Structure 1
């Protein structure tokens, strides 16, 4: 197949390219500048300069590639501080890529007769409804009130998922990735989040009951290949088998990173520091089930639990 990857130099895109070419696909990858295009060319595929926020640029890029499949992997997450009180501000560009850019890509795909569209979404914790059991499926609704610091990000994800799954003439596939870890990511031994945890800058808040779902970056890429090649239209949680509360995974992760046990703070003390949204993430959020992705994509994570992944695959 001819596959167009919007965001081919990112965390997922750069790992996706070699797997797709190794399977015999003809890959086209975009970057926002000539330096990035050269990096894509160096992977042995066709690089295209594209401004994802410019409809004309997007339409021209997709028309050039004439793809069978368009893959949205556009984010702007590098250099983020992890400040939960400024969540929407830090995700402002990514939110535009999940709204404006997704609309441009879908319109370009429809104009070029693309049959399949695969898009990156999120399902690691905070988007899930916070009532009922600790683990949610794709059939459970999004949370209605994410926290005041994340309302714009919530709207952007909702827009992306609705747009992709209802686009006329398109087989729309949405992948709700869990929280990434592994080489080249913020959560790695040299990454920003890894450093914060090692330095005890991220505490266990309250009882630490917020349930998170994790996914190693290479497992996310493998699931993406499966979705491109054989996924039926719809939404899939791409997470490991082991959703777990903060009180379990954070101390274990700190140990694997060579740090001391995290501090513990009551919620009332933490709220001025990390905001309402941060407290909710640490105490009330719910994880996600990967049963549908395993069943329907024929995919199994190499790291079924963050326990093994943090120990041997964090990078």
Structure 2
């Protein structure tokens, strides 16, 4: 198949492109930066520089590519941490999940695309029910006010993609990425790793929020499976070991060579950082990926973060 990967130079794109090429697919990969075109070419993709927020540019790029499948992996969260401009980075990602999604869908419909696969995440599963949610779970309808725009952007992406009537629309709710070019790796600019090494990523409150993780290589292989065999709707993609923050965070710190994380009461974090981070650390729910394994025949190279943190961070 010919596959148009929007956001091909990002963490998951850099794993996805070579996996697709190895399976005989022809890949056209987008980037915002001309400096990244040679890296994309080296991965096996035909690079194209495009601003995903420019509807005419997106329409032109998709029309010229004539793909059968569009894969939407656009975010603005890559690169070194810039904590002075966090709101700006989040706002840019929100636009890519709303306007960017709409531009890709309009271009795909005009070009006769048969399938769209898009990146969502599991961080804001509805805060009711047990500690683990399947695909019947919905995005939290009443998130803290300081996260409402970001959660609404995720909801827009999922509803827009799975609601297309002219093709198969698939949204993938990924667990937290770790591994090469993610925030959790052994590298000087890795966001979470850097914070843990400086003891600036604490266990908030009881650390009772349940998180799911997925190694970036496994995330890419699940995406390939969804492209090739996925049915319209939502798939969860994470490892088999959802766990509370107070369980996994000390293990991650140890794997990175950091001291044990501090513990900070939720009310202090709420005053400094807002309600959203406290909610994530104390109320988040993990996800089950049984549907993806059953329907897509997907298998994990790293079925648990317990081994993945020890073996897969480099």
TM-score by length of 1: 0.95
Contact 1:95–1:152 (8 Å) recurs in 2: yes
The worse-fitting range, judged by mean Cα deviation, of 89-98 and 229-238 is: 89-98
Instruction: Please state if 1:135 is matched with 2:157.
Output: no
1:19 shift after superposition: 0.9
Q: Which residue of 1 aligns with 2:245?
A: 246
3-state SS in 2 of match to 1:58: helix
Distance 2:193 2:286 in 1: 21
Between the aligned partners of 1:121 and 1:198, the Cα distance in structure 2 is 28
Partner of 1:25: 25
Change (3 A) 1:160 1:174: same
Distance 1:263-1:82 versus aligned 2 partners, 3 A rule: farther
Whole-Å separation in 2 of the counterparts to 1:194 and 1:184: 12
43-52 or 177-186: bigger deviation: 43-52
- Matched residue, 1:266: 265
Shift in Å, 1:79: 4.4
The verdict on how the C-alpha distance between 1:50 and 1:283 changes in structure 2, with shifts beyond 3 A counting, is same
Residue 164 of structure 1, CA deviation = 0.5
Distance (whole Å) between structure 2 residues aligned to residue 167 and residue 80 of structure 1: 35
Farther-moved stretch of structure 1 (113-122 vs 264-273) = 264-273
Residues 65-101 of structure 1 deviation map (CA, whole Å, 9 limit, x = unaligned): 1111111111110246486x98654311111111111
* Matched position secondary structure for 1:98: helix
Kindly tell me: are residues 184 and 33 of structure 1, through their superposed partners in 2, closer, same or farther at Cα, counting changes over 3 Å? closer
Aligned to 2:155: 158
SS of 1:180's equivalent in the other structure is: strand
CA contact (8 A) 1:87 1:150 kept: no
- Distance of aligned partners of 1:156 and 1:88 in 2 relative to their CA distance in 1, 3 Å threshold: farther
The 1:88–1:143 alpha-carbon spacing in structure 2 relative to 1, beyond 3 Å, is farther
Secondary structure of residue in 2 paired with 1:99: helix
CA–CA separation in structure 1 for the residues paired with 2:277 and 2:174: 20
- Alignment check: 8 A CA contact 1:88 1:152 kept: no
Which ranges in structure 1 are unaligned for 5 or more consecutive residues?
none
Deviation sequence 1:190-247 (CA, Å, 0-9, x none): 2121011122111111111000010100000000000011111110011111110001
Aligned length in residues = 312
Whether the aligned pair in 2 keeps the contact of 1:8 and 1:17 (CA below 8 Å) is yes
Greater shift, 264-273 or 287-296, is seen at 264-273
- TM-score (normalised: structure 2): 0.95
Change in 2 beyond 3 A, CA 1:211/1:204: same
Shift of 1:116: 0.5
Looking at structure 2, the residues matched to 132 and 109 of structure 1 have their Cα atoms a distance apart, in angstroms, of 37
> Which residues of structure 2 form unaligned runs of 5+?
none
Distance 2:305 2:108 in 1: 36
Q: CA RMSD in A?
A: 1.6
For residues 86 and 282 of structure 1, the distance between their equivalents in structure 2, rounded to whole angstroms, comes to 22
Moved more, 72-81 or 178-187: 72-81
User: For residue 275 of structure 1, what is the aligned residue in structure 2?
Assistant: 274
Q: 1:10 to 1:194 in 2, by over 3 A?
A: same
Distance (whole Å) between structure 2 residues aligned to residue 44 and residue 216 of structure 1 = 22
Tell whether the 8 Å contact from 1:80 to 1:90 is kept in structure 2 after alignment. Answer: no
**Contact map agreement 2:11 2:78 (CA 8 A) in 1:** no
State the distance in 1 between where 2:175 and 2:127 align: 16
